[in-house]
Amino acid sequence: MKSGWVDSEAQTAIDRYARAGIGRDLALRVYTTRLLGRDPKLVLHGGGNTSLKTTMPDLFGDQVAVLCVKGSGSNMASVEPVDLPAVRLDPLRKLRARGALGDEDIVRIQRASLLDSAAPNPSVEILLHAFLPHTFVDHTHANAVLSIIDQPDGETICSELYDGRASVVPYVMPGFLLAKTAADIHDAKPAVEGLILHKHGIVTFGDGAREAYERMIALVTLAEERLQKNRKAVFVTAHLPQAIAPVAAVAPILRGACSRKVEDSEGSWRRMVLDFRTTPAILNFVNGGELVRYSQAGVVTPDHTIRTKNWPLVTAAPEPDRMDDFKRAAGVALAAFVERYQDYFARQNARVGGIKRPLDPLPRVALIPGLGLFGLGRSKREASIAADLAQCAVEIVTEAEAIGRFQSISEDEMFDMEYWPLEQAKLGAAAEKPLAGQIAVITGAGGAIGAATASAFAAAGAEVALLDVDRRAAEDKAEAIGAAALALACDVTSAASVREAFARVVEAFGGVDIVVSNAGAAWQGRIGEVDEELLRKSFELNFYGHQRVAQAAVKIMLAQGTGGCLLFNVSKQAVNPGPNFGPYGLPKAATLFLVRQYAVDYGAAGIRANAVNADRVRSGLLTDAFIAERAKARGVSEKDYLSGNLLGREVTAEDVAQAFLHQALELKTTGDVTTVDGGNIAAALR
Ligand SMILES: [Zn+2]
């Protein structure tokens, strides 16, 4: 591992922050924190933390000694001075004399000691930083170090490897006791460059930012070099089937198995979003004959527990022509996982006096022999964090097994960490949105109604895939929604294009729960004289397009076994034909009956089918020129055409989006058409 320190970049940081009135030390603290944060072999997702001891003026202008320590859960790679809240150092240091200190007291004292009372919560490892005397303290969960300390004889290996340069601290749960133990061990040999926290990570320190940082690089490099010695081959591959089913076939089954019915809300499911990973290293790991031993041994560092749980779900290898077997086996594996988790909770909760409330018992990582691994979470973001940490664990365990045998902390220690209130606080207590965990596909998403619907569903917590025949339009709208929104080209008049798009959605998120079949285009012509080709073209898009999309979605929904929701844009023409609008209205009328047919055929599977009958929404389909033409056909002004309804109000794309959203949330409604037209008795359904 090479040092990333560059003198000119360090100077740039000093100069840049000086303009904002920030001193040299804090500027360099930010600079090296980012250097550490940008290397995934050192830290991932809020893991690791750094600090600086300095002086700063308090609200009265008096200079006080402070500890600037990284805020809990903030990302080191993009840290700014504001992410290193300043805490008065003297009250923190006084705590070292205590025999014991509760978590709530620590939080209270640190918040009361913040120079800025509105600052973020400091890292849960604040006291570790406070009790060490050095100006700069850096802490990471470096992969190479974990590979050598997650061993039965990890402490011996480290004592030999770091002889005199770093002291080894036996495993103690993070918090007050670890801080006290680490400081005592440091003080016994104050000349060391760092501390190895057994089964947890590494701390380095120094008087300067560069010194602390480069000691980290040097000590981690020693671990990397140690891993190259006396290696044995890992892992011996298990006997696997000749062919393995693709992700698009496996993910919906896995996702279905990992979903749970919500007890007090019939028809409602608690679902997971999936994030798939595969690399040669992951395949080597999941294909190993001893997978069950080394994958179930526990976490690589206690910090991962809260996001990955202590062990992953392991399924059988999925064979393409035996997916029913895979589905059955996945169900059995999940039931065993849940039972094991519940037993673990009951056993451990009894040990701590029955004071804890259980987290959900579902896995956050699934290992699929022959295929790869999935991260699971209530959002794409959570799923990808779990997948990142799982991928990191694969590397650490593989390296650990190459020089010995991977060993984690004990079950008691994992439970104490998983159910530590300060750790659970990292997950945030915000209420979940109504569509959290659901995946929505919107066709025609490059247009006004499709884009507004995608935005409304994303705002309600769904992961959204925006499909449009115009890829660029879908990408533009997805970008406006946010990084997690997926944009795909899809021509609904092509069965292959629809199949491909749905496979991509499943690969990205794990499945499909809601489809808004919205793509359409309007053609006009007097029905007695219209060219048959034009009529067929309209049917291809305005009827068969909906059928292809619904068919692709239903296949995935049935594999998941958790119901689903099909929503169609049928337009007012399906109910109330306008003059010369037959080529558009006829396939839309067929689509209205398609909705009812899906409601009839798939109600028993919990799949709902509903439609929105909207009228006169300004969009790509209803352009200004088109509005002028339709107004002329009806013999009214353009303004009257748009708001020519009982309420006298123009209907917008957002109004239609809200109607789709309501239908997605109405778990007891199917075969319904919701009218969004400002009131038009001639188009009212009866
Ligand atoms: Zn740590």
Per residue in 547-568, pLDDT (tens digit) is 999 999 999 999 999 999 999 9
Cβ-contact 219, 165 below 8 angstroms: yes
Cα 43 to ligand 1 centre (Å): 10
Q: For residue 293, how far is its CA from the centre of ligand 1 (angstroms)? A: 25
- Between the CA of 683 and the centroid of ligand 1 the distance, in Å, is 64
Catalytic residue among 171, 584, 598, 602: 584
445 close to 466: Cβ distance less than 8 angstroms: yes
DSSP lists the bridge partners of residue 517 as 568
For residue 584, indicate whether it is catalytic. yes
Stretch 3-17: mean pLDDT: 97
- Compute the average pLDDT of residues 255-276: 95
Q: Which of 462, 435, 461, 465 is nearest to 451 (CA)?
A: 465
Instruction: Tell me the average pLDDT across 376-397.
Output: 96
pLDDT for the residue numbered 686: 66
Whole-angstrom distance, CA of residue 143 vs CA of residue 300: 9
- Give the distance (Å) from ligand 1 centre to CA of residue 177: 13
Over 70: is that where the pLDDT of 429 sits? Answer: no
Cβ neighbors of 425 (< 8 A, separation 6 or more) are 72, 121
Q: Model confidence at 424, in pLDDT bands (50, 70, 90)?
A: confident
CA of 174 to the centre of ligand 1 (A): 7
488 — alpha (psi -120 to 50), left (phi > 0) or beta? beta
Indicate if the pLDDT at residue 8 is higher than 80. yes
Name beta bridge partners: 467: 443, 488
pLDDT in tens, 598-650: 999 999 999 999 999 988 888 766 788 888 888 888 888 888 888 888 998 98
**H/E segment holding residue 213:** helix 209-227
Instruction: Copy the structure tokens of residue 468.
Output: 């449009």
Q: What is the residue-averaged pLDDT of the chain?
A: 94
Cα(46) to centroid(ligand 1), Å:
10
488-516 as b/e, with b when 16 or more CB fall inside 10 Å? Answer: bbbbbbeeebbbbbbbbbbebbbbbbbbb
Cα–ligand 1 centroid distance for 93 (angstroms):
20
Dist CA 299 CA 307 (whole Å): 10
Element (H, E) at 8: helix 7-18
Q: How far is the CA of 383 from the centre of ligand 1 (A)?
A: 22
Q: How far is the CA of 288 from the centre of ligand 1 (A)?
A: 29
State in Å: Cα 68 to ligand 1 middle.
17
- pLDDT-above-90 percentage for the chain: 81
DSSP single-letter state for residue 316? P
Q: Which residues contact 328 (CB under 8 A, 6 or more apart)?
A: none
Give, for 385, the enclosing helix (H) or strand (E). Answer: helix 380-403
